[in-house]
A and B are shown apart, each in its own frame.
Chain A
Amino acid sequence: MESIIIRAAIIYFFVFLILRLSGKRTLGEMTTFDLVLLLIISEATQQALLSDDKSLIGGMMAIATLVFMDILVSLVTHRSKVADKIVNSVPLIILRDGKPLEDRMAKERISIEEVLEAARKNQGLESLDQVKYAVLEVDGSISIIPK
């Protein structure tokens, strides 16, 4: 039974690390590829998590461990700003006064089209000139502040 708890904790940490390394945009918009990726990850994780244990209590222990780890992380990030930045990252301005900050966008793998899409969807804007700030939020979404 203890091996399930240890496995679940290791997998939680590993999946967190991999998703954190993939950057904000992986989490932000769920494309078809991201959906496929998520499904495959969950299938691979399921095997490693429970191995041959098909018992009800085994599954319950794995779920409880994952949720408990999540509570622990949220407690730590709530109390410490540094931990919050490490776990969740920080927002990033990617466009100022209608001018895209290209080096930042390149590093976050964001195109102008994605900013325009966010401007259209969220504010009904049709050009970058109408945007004062575009901010890449920690969840990978793009916030638009119009002029």
Chain B
Amino acid sequence: MKKHTDSVEKEFRFQKMEWLVLRAGWCLMAAFLIFGLLGFFGSGTVSRKTAENNAAVIEYERYLRNLLLSEIKIYSKKPLPDSSVYISSDYLNKVRIDKVVPEPASSELQNDRLKLKFNSNEGDPIVLYVVPTGLGSQDLEIEIRGEKQKLHQYIHF
């Protein structure tokens, strides 16, 4: 029995090291949660972004999560003369547009861009409900009345 407990005591150096590692792990776990609360993994203060140009104000999430629905809201500053919004089509390789509100009158691919044509725009935002299907960083280019706006997003797994 003495032999057994002696060998247990010999492991005490490893145990002391383990306590240090565990406490470092707890700090990392806390940091992970704080980053999550702030929105580094989506839906939070850091993630919510607004981009603005002469034509529109666009609200979007900087960080997305794979297969989790997200919104892109486009507020037009003036009624659109041609009531059309263009979205870069390479964006659609990583993101699926689930729904558009209001429903566009037509949508078509035009010169590597998705054109969404609306019948009227009376100040209500155009909301794109998107579901990320890919991973990693991606750029989205939205064009309204000839004004291009580039947005950067990151999709977490």
Q: Determine whether B46 belongs to the interface, using a CB cutoff of 8 Å to chain A.
A: no
Q: Does B69 contact A (CB under 8 A)?
A: no
Does A135 belong to the interface (CB within 8 Å)?
Answer: yes
- List chain B residues, Cβ under 8 A from A89: 15, 18
29 residue pairs of the A-B complex, CB under 8 angstroms, read: A10-B157, A17-B25, A21-B22, A21-B25, A21-B26, A21-B29, A23-B22, A51-B67, A52-B67, A85-B11, A85-B14, A89-B18, A90-B8, A90-B11, A90-B14, A90-B15, A90-B18, A91-B8, A91-B11, A92-B8, A92-B15, A93-B9, A93-B12, A107-B19, A133-B5, A135-B5, A135-B8, A145-B1, A145-B5
Find chain A residues with CB under 8 A from B5 CB: 93, 133, 135, 145
Per the CB 8 Å criterion, the residue count for chain B at the interface is 16
Closest 8 CB pairs of A and B: A90-B11, A21-B25, A91-B8, A90-B14, A133-B5, A92-B15, A107-B19, A85-B14
Measured CB to CB, the closest approach of chain A to B127, in angstroms, equals 23
Beyond contacts A90-B15, A92-B12, A93-B9: 11 other A-B pairs, Cβ-Cβ < 8 A, are A10-B157, A18-B29, A20-B25, A21-B22, A89-B18, A90-B8, A90-B14, A90-B18, A91-B8, A92-B15, A135-B5
Per DSSP, chain B at the interface is helix
Q: What is the 8 Å Cβ interface bit string for chain B, positions 2-22, against chain A (1 contact, 0 not)?
A: 000100110110110011001
Task: Give A15-34 as 1s and 0s: 1 = Cβ < 8 Å from B's Cβ atoms.
Answer: 00110110100000000000
**Which residues from chain A sit less than 8 Å from chain B, CB to CB?**
10, 17-18, 20-21, 23, 51-52, 85, 89-93, 107, 133, 135, 145
For B15, what are the chain A residues with a Cβ–Cβ distance below 8 Å? 89-90, 92
* Chain B contacts for A92, CB-based, 8 A: 8, 11-12, 15
Which residue of chain B lies nearest to A133 when distances are taken between CB atoms in the complex? B5
Q: How far is the CA of A133 from the CA of B3 in the complex (A)?
A: 13
